[in-house]
Structure 1
Amino acid sequence: MNLSETINNIRASCKDYMDPDLLAFIIDDDLFMGTNNILEITEYDIEDDDSYEERLLKIHANENIFLPCGMMTFMPIINECDIFSDKDYNFHLNPEEFEKYFEKEEKLFGILIKKDSNEYIIGKTDVCSCSVDASFEELEKTDSEFYKTIEKIVKEKIIE
């Protein structure tokens, strides 16, 4: 994966679900969410004139980062899920799928890129890191149309 190009690709198309300057989240080794205010971080040899991408690459050398590719919202009464990304999707999930993926609150989905590597995991996070228990959770891979759509959206964003 070309991380710089992937960051640029996701930032160029995230305005419908995320502020491009608040796109990436730092995720600690215990999978709890840290800050997403990349432009205010001054550690990691970051210079004032570094671009967003340059800052994020310097941070990534020392930290796991999460790059959201969209947002998902669940509607329990009708077992549906709406996905917002470049395109919008609506899924009616069977009871087992709904139970597996259901979240009470809106969630961001995307990729957790492990520090100083190109290895990534598809998963979800809280919409903001305000809560003490805000964290990253890997999405369980299934053969469902829902998971395959999320995987497709993610893979379209990754530049090799």
Structure 2
Amino acid sequence: MINVFETIKNIRATCDNYADPDLVATVVHDSYYMGSNNVFELSSFGIEKDDPFEERIVKILKHENVFLNCGMYAFMPIINECDIYSTEDCHLKLTKEEFEKYSHEKERVFGLLIKKDSTDFTIGSCDLCGCSIDAAFKPMEKSDSKFYKKIEDIIDSKIIY
């Protein structure tokens, strides 16, 4: 079982390479469509003006799913490669099959979706721009692929149990 408060705190403390610390959390509705990523604009869910970021997310989680951004990735066609930007950036050479499985996503942010009123989470990705009307969370299918394993390792390094 993850410690949600400490996980959020850990992600915010290490996200400067890839995200604004105040924008690492995004509300995700049950339909997986994205809501607000500016928790300082939210005043519902019992949020008080003086609540720190982590406390705001914990309050939101009682009512909504929350996606925590752990990095972003971009695929490079023709050369079957993927750049992953997170606490530490990396460059992966993928097999043709693996590249074909994931590359249709082009550029996305990845992280974990914490399900409302729980500590259960799913690894997945979201559109880079949450402002699009069809911006949504997409769960990643667990696999033994190099790409999935790298994403899973990065996320695991940020989770506090």
TM-score range, shorter chain: over 0.9
> Taking structure 2 as the reference length, what is the TM-score of the superposition?
0.96
Mapped to 1, the partners of 2:13 and 2:120 lie a distance apart of: 22
- Point out 4+ residue stretches in structure 1 off by more than 2 angstroms: none
Q: Does 1:92 align with 2:93?
A: yes
Instruction: Write the letter of the residue equivalent to 2:117.
Output: D
Mapped to 2, the partners of 1:56 and 1:139 lie a distance apart of: 23
Instruction: Write the letter of the residue equivalent to 2:13.
Output: A
Residue aligning to 2:60: 59
Q: State the secondary structure of the residue aligned to 1:21.
A: helix
Once the two structures are TM-superposed, the CA of residue 104 in structure 1 deviates from its matched residue by: 5.0
Once the two structures are TM-superposed, the CA of residue 128 in structure 1 deviates from its matched residue by: 2.2
Residue aligning to 1:83: 84
Identity within the alignment, % = 54
Instruction: Write the letter of the residue equivalent to 1:31.
Output: Y
Residue aligning to 1:113: 114
- Cα 1:21–1:111 shift into 2, 3 Å: same
RMSD of Structure 2 on Structure 1 (CA): 1.0
Q: Does 1:35 align with 2:72?
A: no
Mapped to 2, the partners of 1:104 and 1:117 lie a distance apart of: 28
Q: State the secondary structure of the residue aligned to 2:40.
A: helix
Q: State the secondary structure of the residue aligned to 1:10.
A: helix
Once the two structures are TM-superposed, the CA of residue 151 in structure 1 deviates from its matched residue by: 0.5
Mapped to 2, the partners of 1:128 and 1:14 lie a distance apart of: 18
Residues 35-58 of structure 1, C-alpha deviations (whole Å, 9 max, x = no match): 101011000111110001111110
Instruction: Write the letter of the residue equivalent to 1:39.
Output: F
Residue aligning to 2:123: 122
> Taking structure 1 as the reference length, what is the TM-score of the superposition?
0.97
Instruction: Write the letter of the residue equivalent to 2:83.
Output: D
Q: Which runs of 5+ in 1 are unaligned?
A: none
Mapped to 2, the partners of 1:152 and 1:105 lie a distance apart of: 21
